[in-house]
Structure 1
Amino acid sequence: MPFGRHKPQDCPCCDPALAGRREVITAGLGLLACAAVPRAARAAPPLAPVRSLRVERSYTEDSFDGVYFRNGRYDREALHKLDWVFRDLSAAEVTPMDPRLFDVLHAVAQQLDATEAFVISSGYRTPERNSQLRSSRVSTVSLHMSGMAADFRLPGRNAYGVARAAAQMQVGGVGLYRREGFVHLDCGPPRRW
């Protein structure tokens, strides 16, 4: 769907009719997940009631610096702006990103006390673009194609240190691309490479 034409029902995270039920389900699932994880592995900070993000896109002047979650819900306008920043540049295609990705980035920024912007080199990728990048390091089922992943640099920060901190938090997938100097984060299951 083109930029700016999302409907509220397109994103279950934003649907006001599900807000109360979603919070109860989320809390219950969170308690179950915490019970299953050993105390030593619970390094991720709790998600803040107000969540913000600072991102810039490589090769463009697109950026977002603001709040995307408040009052118990995601801000639709902020999500649309973030979708634009994270779009597939090669196809000029925008897709609704999974808001949990922004939560992962927010949590990592908090953990690192980062005030600088994440410089995004890759967000959403069309399947065509992903197949063009095929190598031993590009998955044919990449979470980039689902709007659930981002590759980035954090200026002034060592990529290894960023990846290590994110991996210890166990909030999603973490990939370190040392030679290229960037980190991959996604909101899939905790894993690292």
Structure 2
Amino acid sequence: MPSTTDSAVVSAPQRILSRRGLLGGLAGLGAIAAMPGPARALAGTREWRLAIRNVHTNESVDALFARNGQFVPEGLAELNHGLRDWRTGQSTIMDRKLLALLVSLRRTLDVGDNRKIDLISGYRSPKTNAGLRARGGQHTGVASRSQHMLGKATDIMVPGVSLDKLHRAALALGGGGVGFYPRDGFVHVDTGRVRHW
């Protein structure tokens, strides 16, 4: 169960919406058209669906998270679980703008709605983030207040799409931060301020 100090964090087996998650889902009803950037471009789309596969656990999620301008709480809960910190099993309420950005990115790349995006990293717990920072090496760029810890970032690749093409598409959308990691085989996308590295 979530602690009283961090009600957004839930354990991996817990698939039931938390009170905060349910209220957040209900508060988001009808808010899609008001979302900025790539989300606004999708406002006329009847359904928003996101399919992801975690490369570390091989678990897949294919969730309908918005329909006719309304968020679908069950779909949001599935994605929160699917984008959890695979190292600790903790999850958080993922930024809806990030989910919309991933849908928009997939559509920009002209890949089908059911084609899975490979997830290298989604939500990152404070414990995981601190461990990656302490380890250094390829993780020397891990920020102490990473967008991953806020539920606003993913590190991804799309099978059959070159990293260069994925990187260019993410930059063109201008939905937030974009990091290019060709040596590690992924592109970072987040809904923080627009920047790139």
Q: TM-score range by the shorter chain?
A: 0.7 to 0.9
Q: 1:23 to 1:109 in 2, by over 3 A?
A: closer
Q: Does 2:130 correspond to 1:131?
A: yes
Alpha carbon RMSD of aligned pairs, Å? 2.4
Three-state SS of the structure 2 residue aligned to 1:14 is helix
Equivalent position to 1:111, from 101, 105, 108: 108
Q: Identical aligned pairs, as a percentage?
A: 32
Any stretches of 5+ residues in structure 2 without a counterpart? 3-9
- Separation in 1, partners of 2:156, 2:32: 30
Give the 3-state SS of the residue equivalent to 1:6 in structure 2. Answer: coil
Q: Does 1:147 align with 2:151?
A: yes
Q: Point out where structure 1 has 5 or more consecutive residues left out of the alignment.
A: 34-42
The aligned runs of 1:70-109 (5 Å cut-off) are: 70-109=67-106
Deviation string for 1:67-121 (max 9, x for gaps)? Answer: 2111222111111111111111111112111121110000000000013311101
Change (3 A) 1:131 1:99: same
Query: Which of the residues 156, 160, 173 maps onto 1:156?
Result: 160
1:13–1:73 CA contact under 8 A, matched in 2: no
What SS does the aligned partner of 1:102 have?
helix
Deviation at 1:19, TM superposition (A): 3.9
Between the two proteins, the alignment pairs up a number of residues equal to 177
Q: Does 1:165 align with 2:169?
A: yes
Q: Structure 1 residue runs of 4+, over 4 Å off?
A: none
Kindly provide the amino acid, as one letter, of the partner of residue 15 in structure 2: G
Is 2:186 aligned against 1:182? Answer: yes
1:148-191 alpha-carbon deviations (Å, 9 max, x no partner): 11111111211121011110110121111011110111122222
C-alpha spacing 1:13/1:46, structure 2 compared with 1 (3 Å): farther
Distance 1:68 1:87 in 2: 16
Instruction: Output the TM-score relative to the length of structure 1.
Output: 0.81
1:46 aligns with 2:50: no
TM-score (normalizing by structure 2): 0.80
Question: Which amino acid in the other structure matches residue 79 of structure 2?
Answer: L
| 2:17 alignment counterpart | 6
Alpha-carbon distance between aligned partners in 2 of 1:44 and 1:148, rounded to the nearest angstrom? 14
Amino acid at match of 2:196: R
